């Protein structure tokens, strides 16, 4: 079993989830966080079944930080 870190974003009308550490784009959406996680797990499984070891990036994500920066617009 491999553990992946998942980013979950809360949007006004849904939740979006995507993993770190996979090549290409794997994204799922749901009305709840739980639903988005269930859907992204299914998408990840399909991605790995399709691409095998090639699905994984060479680097392991150790930690995730979320921060903000101000920008001049």
**Is 27 or 58 the better-scoring residue by pLDDT?**
27
Q: What's the number of domains the chain is made of?
A: 1
CB atoms within 10 A of CB 44: 21
Q: Residue 68 has which token pair?
A: 């903000």
Q: Confirm whether 46 is domain-assigned.
A: yes
**Residue 16 pLDDT exceeds 90:** yes
**Would you say residue 43 lies in a domain?**
yes
pLDDT at 2 exceeding the cut of 90: no
Tell me what percent of the residues of the chain surpass a pLDDT of 90: 73
Residue 63 lies in a domain: no
Strands (E), 1-73: 6-10, 15-19, 28-30
Please report which confidence band the pLDDT of residue 3 belongs to, taking 50, 70 and 90 as the band edges. confident
What six digits make up the tokens of 35? Answer: 């639903």
Residue 71 lies in a domain: no
Instruction: Specify the pLDDT at position 57.
Output: 87
Give a yes or no: residue 73 inside a domain.
no
Distance from C-alpha of 70 to C-alpha of 65, rounded to nearest angstrom: 16
Q: Check whether 1 has a pLDDT greater than 90.
A: no
Which residue range forms the structural domain that includes residue 23? 6-55
* 48: DSSP letter: H
């Amino acid at each position: 079993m491999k553990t992946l870190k998942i980013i979950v974003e809360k949007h006004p009308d849904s939740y979006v989830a995507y993993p770190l550490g996979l090549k290409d784009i794997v994204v799922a959406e749901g009305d709840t966080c739980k639903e988005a996680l269930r859907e992204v797990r299914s998408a990840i499984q399909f991605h790995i079944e399709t691409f095998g070891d090639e699905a994984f990036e060479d680097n392991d994500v150790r930690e995730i930080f979320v921060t903000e920066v101000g920008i001049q617009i």
